[in-house]
Amino acid sequence: MAHAYIDAIANAGANAVKFQTHIAAEESTLSEPWRVKFSRQDNTRYDYWRRMEFSEEHWHGLKQHADERGLMFLSSPFSLAAIDLLKRVGVPAWKVASGEVGNVPLIDAMVETRLPMLISSGMSDFGELDATVARVLAANVPLTIFQCTTAYPCPPEKIGMNMIPMLRDRYDCAVGLSDHSGTIYAGLAAAAIGIEALEVHVTFSREISGPDMPASVTTAELRQLVEGVRFIEAMRASPVDKNLMAAEMIPLRNLFTKSVVVRVPLSAGTVITSEHLIAKKPGTGIPAAKMHEVIGKRLLIDVQADHILQRGDLSEEE
């Protein structure tokens, strides 16, 4: 299933796939409580972590598969042993889960590698976050901070979009959103205000067993999310010159705008009045906005009804 996720995520157009590396004996005790008791086959949370452990061979296989599909391979470590394992497997950066932000030995072990760090902030107040960020930045390690709310699923009023620019200003680093809303909306909104990274949970179906399914997007929704983010990136990277764009729109402008047109046949020498005129498409003559400049002018030629007036049709003197 893990390999199937790699293919699905690559097919959706994402940049990276991220797993979690759990080694039960290194991170948990038999007294660890369930967040959600969903497993019928595991008596304890510890048993669940044991069952979820992959061998080092498995991890190397997943890394190789991700490389083959052009995906950055990441996995959140939850112990020092997991860090050592992932160093052997090879990761380009560390993703720090929300519950590990205050785990100083874990943070220091990551910092020592000098690999970039991506830190979720879901369970931390600013005091804890400040201390961890200071450790990372003091070592000149590249840093991305994710706004994150640890709720599964996260309702819109708790996503904290206001925190994204606040985190950028506070730490002067790259920022992102680790989203648990189970929708594509939060990610698109975050992309629109400007982020460097977006993390979402992904599932093949929300009917699959597990506590995170309500907080996950499906692989089909992931494709929509990626397409939307790419669209937004293109918009943000392409500022528009309003005058230049208007000049480019002249052919369409001629189709959609209106000109000054005579209502009835008129003879040369006629002094134009407002009753003689109407605004009609196309916009290839005197613009409708200039109608007031035509009134009082004298016609130089005979014209039929619906004639689109041109400047050369009128005398310069009233």
Cβ burial, residue 240 (10 Å; 0-12/13-18/19+):
exposed
pLDDT digits (tens, 9 = 90+) for 135-156: 999 999 999 999 999 999 999 9
Answer whether residue 86 shows pLDDT above 90. yes
pLDDT digits (tens, 9 = 90+) for 156-183: 999 999 999 999 999 999 999 999 999 9
pLDDT digits (tens, 9 = 90+) for 184-237: 999 999 999 999 999 999 999 998 888 888 999 999 999 999 999 999 999 999
The whole-angstrom separation of Cα 316 and Cα 212 is 77
% of residues, the chain, pLDDT over 70 = 99
Question: What are the structural domain ranges in the chain?
Answer: 2-236, 244-313
The whole-angstrom separation of Cα 175 and Cα 172 is 9
The whole-angstrom separation of Cα 94 and Cα 207 is 30
Tokens 């067993």, residue? 209
Topology (CATH level 3) of domain 244-313: Type Iii Antifreeze Protein Isoform Hplc 12 (3.90.1210)
- The beta strands (E) that lie in 45-196 are given as 72-77, 94-96, 117-120, 143-148, 174-179
The CATH class for the domain spanning 2-236 reads: alpha beta
pLDDT digits (tens, 9 = 90+) for 98-117: 999 999 999 999 999 999 99
- Looking at residue 143, the DSSP 8-state letter turns out to be E
The pTM of this model reads: 0.85
CA 159, 162, 164, 168 torsion: positive or negative? negative
